[in-house]
Structure 1
Amino acid sequence: MDLDVFMAAHGPEWDRLDQLLRRRRRLSGAETDELVVLYQRTSTQLSQIQSSSPDPVLINRLTTLVARARAKVVGTRKATWRDAAHFFTAGFPAALYRTRRWWVPVAVLFTVAVAGMGWWIAANPEVQASMAAPEELREMTRPGGQYETYYSSSPAAAFSAQVWTNNAQVAGMSLAFGALLGIPVLWVLFSNAVNVATGVGLMASADRLDVFLGLILPHGLLELTAVFVAAGVGLRLGWTVLDPGPRTRLTALAAEGRAAIGMALGLALVLFVSGLIEGFVTPSGLPTWARIAIGVVAELAFLAYVFVVGKRAVEAGETGDMAEADRPAEVPVAA
């Protein structure tokens, strides 16, 4: 595309659209029809420029112009409680189900990696010695040691809030860094795997693995699943950069990015639930079997939410993206 020729041909239309949008008086019927036609043309022209001859200055101008025209033509729509209900009953579970082929393998590989590293740490005293002095290791793993007292080190409400904030940051980083080809996401996963494997290995070497699992499973099942989902979506976003499919790279990233933002909001609620479990259930005086049962029930409820509610939502046409009427106009492209 010759951008100068394109601008010369369509520039007067953009100027006319801008003039109509600046009118303070009520537009006549003919002017309103003209505004709608110019809005549709400019939306298509913006898509053409984005896909074939991107120019940041021109794209910024036309994006602003199209947004103003869209608000004028269709009016602004405020989010309602109905939108929130639709998101949590259809949009979010659909997005979770659609991305399952990314985050389920992440969960399997993470579990295998933790088991392997944990066994390696437990079976090699020299590895344990490289981590800390013997007295420090005993302090961490003994009855009433650091691993056990960690979950009751602060008041339950404050501890839940702290855990929720930290986990939400981890999930947010995984989602946000996905656009960087997913490489930072792999580092986040590796760091978390090392942390969990260290606890598994050290407590297993002290013959107290059952205690460790009784502390981590009640909240960890749901918490780690949320991390796996965030990592899977981040990796999917990174893959979109490499292979956008039949869509333009910008259009594909925009669609996947909108879905990722929605996932971040939904996962924040999931992590809030796991934070409550970690703050109030994990350090409680309940029997180990009861604490683990609560964690298992929470995890099964989430999986049912994904594979039952989410599957039905996808079959009904949900994608996890915003409603079609709220998306930017796009021009069809050849596959």
Structure 2
Amino acid sequence: MEAIPDIEAASLRSDRFRLEREGDWRRLEAIVTALEKGRVRRIADEDLMELPVLYRKTASSLAVARETSLDAATLAYLEALVRRAWFQVYGPRVGLAGWARRFFTGGWSASVRALWLDICIALFVMVAGTVVGWLLVAQDDNWYYALVGGMDGGRGPSATREQLLETLEPTASAQGLGAFAAYLFSNNAGVCILAFALGFAFGVPTLMLLVHNMALLGAMLYVFDQQGLVWPFAAWLSVHGTTELFAILLSGAAGLHIGRSMVFPGTRTVMASAAEAGRRAAQVMAGCVIMLVIAGLLEGFVRQLVGTAETRATIGGIMLGLWLAYFLLVRPRAGAGAEGAP
């Protein structure tokens, strides 16, 4: 018979606990509901200021409720309310559509412009790597095979002019080009991700990777130049190259940005400096993935179907102009800001 008083006492404690705190719970619920419905203007400034405090109070109430084994209905209510409030206090402020709109209307370009010094360094290294590749093969043809390996596609130093021209000819049919485009995207994405990831080793491996990849290009340019075909080859390459090489440039710059922030953290700790640089560089890398998708489509379809060097060069030039115009001219709206921008 003693169980009945115990049950009554527990029920009394539960009722008292709820009555003492229910006002804060209801107030928090009203604020969260208004935020979820997008009715921010209907919320008083005082309530918005109190939102984090009310959230912490309710989370504390939930912890107490769990420890004291209050009734299941109260526990379920508090758990649901705390989850909803957490997303409003700490969760993302915009949905996927809002993030994409902010990203493409200035967030990405602002992050790229913030890396201007790293882009200049990466560009210098890439040009130097191209020159190194050219000079090495000019001294010894064996360097060509050391750099290019099995990826020459019949474009080696021993190839005749006719053989080299044949490798630049368009494909008569688009059959199978989809799989080819997917392969090219996968390969290029691997290079970009590696260039970015190696930045955590203070940027040195990133520089070496950029030199190696561009030395390969320099070696091939030399081979085509020896047969008087450097212009057709450059035009053939430009269709996708202006987009692909731009993406590799930005990926390398993103990696260098992280490495440079670790070497020169300023007044912050190394980890804090690297974390801030990482957020900015990650946004740049998200855009690089989009560029690589476009480059894969251009390389897998357009380049294979377009025949004349002039048309190929025009397409490549237009793509380069579009990228430069976007990165230089598109800026975030006032007050919008850019994630990770300084």
**TM-score, reference length from structure 2:** 0.66
* Aligned 8 A contact 1:217 1:295 in 2: yes
Q: Letter of the 1:320 partner, please give it.
A: E
Gaps of 5+ in 2: 1-16, 29-49, 58-81
Deviation string 1:107-130 (CA, Å, 9 cap, x unpaired) is: 233124313431442365575698
The corresponding residue for 1:49 is none
1:313 match: secondary structure = coil
CA distance in 1, matches of 2:164, 2:99: 47
Task: Pick the aligned partner of 2:201 from 168, 180, 188.
Answer: 180
Tell me whether 1:85 sits opposite 2:94 in the alignment. Answer: no
Task: Pick the aligned partner of 2:127 from 111, 123, 127.
Answer: 111
2:131 match: secondary structure = helix
Provide the identity percentage.
Answer: 23
CA distance 1:72–1:120, change in 2 (3 Å) = closer
Q: Letter of the 1:228 partner, please give it.
A: L
CA distance in 2, matches of 1:235, 1:76: 30
Q: Letter of the 2:287 partner, please give it.
A: G
Shift of 1:261: 2.1
The corresponding residue for 2:279 is 258
Spell out the pairing of 1:49-128 with structure 2 (5 A cutoff): 71=86, 74=89, 76-77=91-92, 79-122=95-138, 124=140
CA distance 1:143–1:25, change in 2 (3 Å) = farther
* Aligned 8 A contact 2:199 2:259 in 1: yes
Deviates more, 1:114-123 or 1:258-267: 114-123
Tell me whether 1:156 sits opposite 2:173 in the alignment. Answer: no
Deviates more, 1:70-79 or 1:205-214: 70-79
The corresponding residue for 2:268 is 247
Aligned-pair RMSD on alpha carbons? 3.9
* Aligned 8 A contact 2:243 2:320 in 1: yes
Deviation string 1:199-218 (CA, Å, 9 cap, x unpaired) is: 11222223322232122122
Shift of 1:145: 4.7
Tell me whether 1:36 sits opposite 2:53 in the alignment. Answer: yes
* Aligned 8 A contact 2:198 2:205 in 1: yes
Shift of 1:103: 1.1
Q: Letter of the 1:83 partner, please give it.
A: W
The corresponding residue for 1:287 is 308
Deviation string 1:152-188 (CA, Å, 9 cap, x unpaired) is: 5983222211111211221111222211111221222
The corresponding residue for 2:223 is 202
Deviation string 1:248-290 (CA, Å, 9 cap, x unpaired) is: 3222222221222222211111111111111122222431111
The corresponding residue for 1:57 is none
The corresponding residue for 1:137 is 156
1:235 match: secondary structure = helix
Q: Letter of the 1:106 partner, please give it.
A: A
Shift of 1:74: 1.5
Tell me whether 1:267 sits opposite 2:284 in the alignment. Answer: no
CA distance 1:68–1:192, change in 2 (3 Å) = farther
Deviates more, 1:218-227 or 1:150-159: 150-159
Q: Letter of the 1:36 partner, please give it.
A: V
* Aligned 8 A contact 2:180 2:300 in 1: yes
2:268 match: secondary structure = coil
* Aligned 8 A contact 2:118 2:253 in 1: yes
Deviates more, 1:199-208 or 1:295-304: 199-208
CA distance 1:226–1:130, change in 2 (3 Å) = closer
* Aligned 8 A contact 2:257 2:281 in 1: no
Task: Pick the aligned partner of 2:298 from 277, 284, 308.
Answer: 277
Q: Letter of the 1:165 partner, please give it.
A: S
* Aligned 8 A contact 2:130 2:211 in 1: no
CA distance 1:205–1:126, change in 2 (3 Å) = farther
Deviation string 1:50-87 (CA, Å, 9 cap, x unpaired) is: xxxxxxxxxxxxxxxxx989827626446231211111
CA distance in 2, matches of 1:24, 1:209: 80
CA distance in 1, matches of 2:20, 2:201: 47
CA distance 1:174–1:315, change in 2 (3 Å) = farther
CA distance in 1, matches of 2:18, 2:130: 64
Tell me whether 1:165 sits opposite 2:186 in the alignment. Answer: yes
Shift of 1:92: 0.7
CA distance in 1, matches of 2:253, 2:281: 10
